[in-house]
Chains A and B, each alone.
Chain A
Amino acid sequence: MNEQQISEKIKELLIENLGIEAEVLTDEIPLFGDGIGLDSIDSLEMIAAIDKEFGVSMTGVGKEPFYNVASLTKYVAEHL
């Protein structure tokens, strides 16, 4: 699975599990705070979905990989 495919899959997971609108979900938009507006509770849903889909555990990692879709993709690609 290349980075492009991982990125698309992550977007699908975020749209499906967190109800984010597809049009606003770019690779660069911050997922938390002023961007999409997710909070730490949502990150748990994200962690569970990524673990289920890719078998990559993000439990206990810092907040940097959760910054945006690009950083999530990079983390997943490095830990696949």
Chain B
Amino acid sequence: MKKLLSELADRCLGALIHAAYFIWTGISHVLYLPKVTYEDETVKDKLKGPCILIANHTSHSDGSFIPQVFWRKKINVLVTTKWYDKKMLHIFFSHLRYIPINLKEMDNSWIEKAVELIRKGESVLIFPEGKLSKDGTLGEFHPGFLMLARLTDVPVIPLAVSGGYRKFHRQSIAVGSVNTFDVHAKGRPSVVLKEGASSCRQQIEDMLQATKSAG
């Protein structure tokens, strides 16, 4: 009986959090006026199915803003346990679409969870730098997302987020072309996929430059 009541309370809390998130999504659209541009229009079709989204990471808001912009898609965001396990945040993260990853341990549980969700038709958003870039400079990309692509064979789509999050100013997201790196290339994954991660980093770097030039 106690277990049943606790489950019921958890479900009610989950419903409340989902309702609050839905309202927050609406508010985000008003506050940040998202503008999505596509480098290649055919990517729109790829976005309809499961995919791996990768993005630069300059604000904690990225992890909620991107899924809110693409709200029709079921996007699961990879978040470090440093944040996921914080008492108050954990309540939200565990009821919404977030996957914890422990960057300090040899943690592969995230990839199993991500594979499972992709096979269910959902998508995964990863910030391959693994941390915030405070000055906006792109750091090194960790190749975990390419291992996920290797295990699932879904497209890797890069996003360049302008950042800043100034209220009532357009917040732009540029959607790049599907990355063409051969994730099944032979060799040690940590070496081979690192090269691929580097090519993805360059792709996002170029997209960010193009966004800046376009003003």
Contact = CB atoms under 8 A, between A and B. Distances in A.
Interface in A13-67: 18-20, 32, 38-45, 47, 59-60, 63, 66
A19 B187 contact: yes
Contacts, number: 41
Given A44-B111, A44-B147, A59-B112, A32 B189 contact: no
Interface residues of A, number: 17
A18 B107 CA distance: 19
Contact of A60 (B109, B189, B191, B193): B109
Nearest to A60: B109
Nearest to A38: B190
B144 interface: yes
A39 B190 CA distance: 7
Nearest to B147: A41
B72 interface: no
A63 B108 CA distance: 10
B1 to A, nearest CB: 32
Given A41-B144, A41-B147, A41-B193, A47 B188 contact: no
Chain B interface, >50% SS class:
helix
A40 B106 contact: yes
B106 A63 contact: yes
Nearest to B146: A41
Contact of B106 (A18, A20, A43, A59): A43
Nearest to A40: B106
Top 6 A-B residue pairs of the complex, sorted by shortest distance between their CB atoms: A63-B106, A40-B106, A39-B190, A19-B188, A41-B189, A18-B188
Given A39-B190, A41-B189, A44-B108, 9 more contacts: A19-B191, A38-B190, A41-B190, A43-B108, A44-B147, A45-B189, A59-B108, A60-B109, A63-B106
